[in-house]
Amino acid sequence: MERLRDSLPVRFGAIVGSIALIGSTAACGSSAAGSSTTASDSGSKKVDSIAAMVPKSIAEKGTLTIAAATYPPAVIEPANGATPTGWDIENVRRIAAVLGLKVNIKIAPFNGIITGLQAGRYDGATGEIYATDERTATVTFVTNHASSDALMVPVGSKITSAAAETDLCGHTLAASLGSAEAALAEKLAGKCRTAGKDPITVKTFDSQANVNLALRGGRVDAAVSSASQVAYVMSQAKNQFKLIELPWAPKYKTGFVLGRNSDTAQFAKAIAAATDHLIENGELQKILDKFNAGQGLIAKAEILPSTGGN
């Protein structure tokens, strides 16, 4: 396991204060729109020795098609249709620049991203996607960040803490369809059944925006999301929600995600080298400082699974 340069749990107050300065507003839904970025647009420069590691088929194509689900502040889709941004989007753009490649971002529903990678519709994916055992069995991650989950509840909620997993029994929890948070909510529901306590009802939605709308509309009691996403929503919808820490929640590695093909093992090494370059020169830290209160940078990229899985 890599050493965390800025260890978790996240400093929630710092995140809210920093993210509140971001001017972009996430759209309420995901679209199929794409946006292209050249290497020069990102501000990073090509590193010839690292670019030489890119497989020939990818280098000749020249442009990476990257899927991302709207998930602020990792993936921010402006309501006016402007170019998507966010800390994970900017990470990918700079990694591509180091590799001498362009990037075409495709905003897509989260629950279709992994299957899209497996089908070869995308060259990669990003958006604070957790590297779970289930996912690393079918796709390859190159890590660049560490994350954790939190609970978002309305101001005035009866939920005031969640020191134990069974503290949420009897409530309705929302999460994004196909997400690690949905799996966590189902796990909590099982613990409540085993303990003979009031059941947890889990409701899943096709986008994080719809999760947040369900909470805002009173259709659920709480939403399980990454701590940075919760803090972002709190900063945009002031005095409407509060964050409940989940001290027992898993800590996850996140990063650049690749589908499996004959080029994956070599391309993952190139991405890892580019990521390490940006960690060492401080560029990734600057991105996280801008969008995520500086939280979550790791000391060195890691390829998961370590064998490359091809």
**CA 229, 105, 69, 81 torsion-angle sign:** positive
Q: Name the pLDDT band for 81 (thresholds 50, 70, 90).
A: confident
Question: What is the pLDDT, as a whole number, of residue 22?
Answer: 37
- DSSP string of 130-158, one letter each residue: B--HHHHTTSEEEEEEEEEEEEEEETT-S
CA 225, distance to chain mean position in Å, is 10
pLDDT: is 12 or 30 the higher one? Answer: 12
Over range 136-158, report the average pLDDT: 95
Q: Name the pLDDT band for 232 (thresholds 50, 70, 90).
A: confident
Burial degree of 161 (CB within 10 A; 0-12, 13-18, 19+): exposed
Tell me the average pLDDT of the chain. 87
Task: Please tell me the pTM assigned to this model.
Answer: 0.80
Q: Name the pLDDT band for 308 (thresholds 50, 70, 90).
A: very low
Distance CA 72, CA 127 (A): 9
pLDDT: is 100 or 296 the higher one? Answer: 100
Whether the per-residue pLDDT at 224 is higher than 80: the answer is yes
Q: Name the pLDDT band for 42 (thresholds 50, 70, 90).
A: low
Question: What is the pLDDT, as a whole number, of residue 300?
Answer: 97
Ramachandran region, residue 7 (left: φ > 0; alpha: ψ -120 to 50; beta: rest): beta
Domains contained in the chain, CATH given: 12-147+252-300 (3.40.190.10), 149-245 (3.40.190.10)
Radius of gyration of the chain (CA): 19
